[in-house]
Amino acid sequence: MKNTFQKIHIILILVIFPLSLSAQWMQMPFPPEGLQANVSCFAKSGTDIFAGTTPYLYSQDGGVYRSINNGINWTLVGLSGTSVISLVVSGTNIFAGISGGVFLSTDNGATWTSAGLHNEYVSSLAVSGTNLFAGTSLFHGLFLSTNNGMNWIQTSLNNQNVCSIVLNGTNLFAGTANSGVFLSTNNGTNWTAVNNGLTCLNVTSVAVSESNMFAGTSYYSNSGVFLSTNNGTNWTAVNNGLTNPYTNAFAVSGVNLFVSNSAGIFLTTNNGEVWLNKNQGLTGPEVNPILIANNYIFIATSYKVWRRSLTEILGIRQISEIIPAKYSLSQNYPNPFNPSTNIKYQITRHSGSSTDNKYVTLKVFDILGKEIVTIVNEKQSPGIYEVNWDASQYPSGVYFYRLVTDGFTDTKKMILLK
């Protein structure tokens, strides 16, 4: 058996492998052929995915599109020819913010009726119980409706361009252009600016991840992502690993936070201490809206929609920032396994450098030396990492996994036993 493994190990090193089936983004067929529309927002209702779009130049192809099969097919369901800028779902109600007010659908997008604010450019929407909040541009601030848009009240935040709204319990946060973040604890009756440490006040997006607040900013200088652990009283920049600090959008899944910008999409699992590049397979990397739904993550780039498995993209975790003394690849556990296993590895610091990131690949091969999947394919900072590999789609047998980085290579054997 020992001689057999040695022969296989040599094959792994020397064979030129066929095209990899590496995990990466898959482009969805959107917009439907012949149409010209750019996705500006996403929403989820049940298992259905909705995309709000803006038409290209003078075309009439904007509106709301729906997919009932996770982005494989899309159908225009309403507001044709309009620029749909924001979407939010509350029970059976779907609200759309457009350049001329708010519209409501109560039948999953089949029909739409006006819900007020006819003269407003509605850039953001949020729902809390029976309260519907609408953020607007043109320095008209934030509005509140308690009856699904039949009536609206302009809150005291009435002289701001509101780019993003998020609720955290009884706290309502509004991200504004040029004036930072505002907090209300009484549904918008009173507002307080909470910007201490926020060096850029052009806040394009706000998000809540457990007890932490995040603000994404965009401007010529001092842009990036900021973290607050005390409801905005203080902010700290958290941009380690972000290629471009200009922020477009956030999406949250438990402790996992995604951010999009002109360099693509990034993930942090430790509240912004380190961001991981997740652009594998993307073309035209500027990413705008993000949606997590049905165990997928959906993103939109210029006139394209992409999808990736959420389980797969979250598979890599940095479990320690302690810099190891050497590179290493650990034995997977459990082993044998069915259907998933964990693989731990260590990335050390290159001699003479204090900040360098290493390009890391972790690949799996079958018993014949054929590469079947790339689990890791990105730059990573020094530290200890763990990744989960789900082998549900592969047959029982012996597999090998190989780590390659910065001149270091190691290969180990694992057994899938179903």
301 and 326 together in one domain: no
Residues 138 and 260 in one domain: yes
Q: Provide the domain limits for residue 338.
A: 317-416
Separation of alpha carbons 191 and 208, rounded Å? 18
Residue 134 lies in a domain: yes
Taking only the tens of pLDDT, the chain with its 418 residues reads 334 333 333 232 222 222 233 458 999 988 776 677 889 999 999 999 999 999 876 667 889 999 999 999 999 999 998 999 999 999 999 999 999 999 999 999 999 999 999 999 999 999 999 999 999 999 999 999 999 999 999 999 999 999 999 999 899 999 999 999 999 999 999 999 999 999 999 999 999 987 899 999 998 778 899 999 999 999 999 998 888 878 999 999 877 899 999 899 999 877 888 788 888 888 877 899 999 998 789 999 988 999 998 867 877 777 777 888 999 999 999 999 998 899 999 999 865 555 567 788 899 999 999 988 778 877 788 889 998 887 877 899 999 999 999 889 999 999 999 8
- Side chain identity at residue 31, one-letter code: P
pLDDT in tens, 102-154: 999 999 999 999 999 999 999 999 999 999 999 999 999 999 999 999 999 99
What CATH number is given to the structural domain containing 251? 2.130.10.10
Please give the Cα distance from 389 to 375 (Å, whole number): 7
Name the domain count of the chain.
2
Count CB atoms within 10 A of the CB of residue 349.
Answer: 17
Do 263 and 404 have their domain in common? no
Asked if omega into 289 is within 30° of 0 (cis), the reply is no
Read off the pLDDT of residues 152-186 as tens digits, 9 standing for 90 and up: 999 999 999 999 999 998 999 999 999 999 999 99
